Amino acid sequence: MSSQEISIDIEEILGDQKPQYIPIDKCVTGAAQARQSGTLVEKDSKLVSQIRKAGGLLQPIIVKDLHDGTFEIIVGQRRTGAFHILKEEDSKFEKIRAYVIERDLSEDEIRVISFIENFGRDDMERSDYINVIEYFYTKFGMNKSMTAKALGIRPSDVTTYLTHARLSDKVKECIKNKDFTIDVAIKALKGLGDDESSVDDDMLIETAKELAKVKPATRKKAVKKMVAEGISAREAVKVSVSSTEIRLEVTDDQLERIEKYQDNHGYGDKEEAAVEAMDAELLRALK
pLDDT confidence band for 87 (50 / 70 / 90) = very high
pLDDT digits (tens, 9 = 90+) for 201-238: 899 999 999 999 888 878 888 888 888 888 888 888 88
Higher pLDDT, 228 or 110: 228
Q: What is the pLDDT of residue 1?
A: 41
Mean residue pLDDT across the chain: 78
Query: In whole angstroms, how large is the CA radius of gyration of the chain?
Result: 23
CB atoms within 10 A of CB 59: 11
Q: Are 237 and 211 in contact (CB under 8 A)?
A: yes
C-alpha separations of 236 from 211, 230, 262 in Å: 9, 9, 24
Higher pLDDT, 84 or 102: 84
pLDDT above 70 as % of the chain? 76
- Dihedrals φ, ψ of 222, to 5°? -65, -40
Q: Are 67 and 104 in contact (CB under 8 A)?
A: no
Q: Are 162 and 134 in contact (CB under 8 A)?
A: yes
Q: What is the pLDDT of residue 34?
A: 44
User: Interior CA angle at 98 toward 93 and 102, to 5°?
Assistant: 140
Q: What is the average per-residue pLDDT within 49-60?
A: 85
Q: Which amino acid is at 98?
A: A
User: Among 115, 28, 97, which residue's Cα sits nearest to residue 65?
Assistant: 28
Q: What is the pLDDT of residue 117?
A: 66
pLDDT over 50 (residue 37): no
Q: What is the average per-residue pLDDT within 172-190?
A: 88
Higher pLDDT, 68 or 256: 68
Q: What is the pLDDT of residue 62?
A: 87
As to burial, measured by CB atoms within 10 angstroms (0-12 exposed, 13-18 middle, 19+ buried), residue 39 is middle
Q: According to CATH, what is the number of the domain 10-118?
A: 3.90.1530.10
pLDDT confidence band for 246 (50 / 70 / 90) = low
pLDDT over 60 (residue 32): no
Task: State how far the Cα of 226 lies from the Cα of 199, in Å rounded to an integer.
Answer: 14
Task: State how far the Cα of 236 lies from the Cα of 213, in Å rounded to an integer.
Answer: 12
pLDDT over 90 (residue 199): no
pLDDT digits (tens, 9 = 90+) for 130-175: 777 888 888 888 888 888 877 777 887 888 888 887 888 898 899 8
Q: What is the average per-residue pLDDT within 28-42?
A: 61
pLDDT over 50 (residue 49): yes
The overall pTM is greater than 0.75: no
C-alpha separations of 40 from 53, 57, 125, 179, 236 in Å: 20, 18, 12, 31, 47
The DSSP code sequence of 53-76 is HHTS-SS-EEEEE-SSS-EEEEE-
Q: Are 119 and 130 in contact (CB under 8 A)?
A: no
pLDDT confidence band for 198 (50 / 70 / 90) = low
User: Among 157, 158, 161, 213, which residue's Cα sits nearest to residue 184?
Assistant: 213
Higher pLDDT, 92 or 112: 92
Higher pLDDT, 242 or 14: 14
Q: What is the average per-residue pLDDT within 51-67?
A: 86
Q: What is the average per-residue pLDDT within 95-115?
A: 81
pLDDT over 80 (residue 19): yes
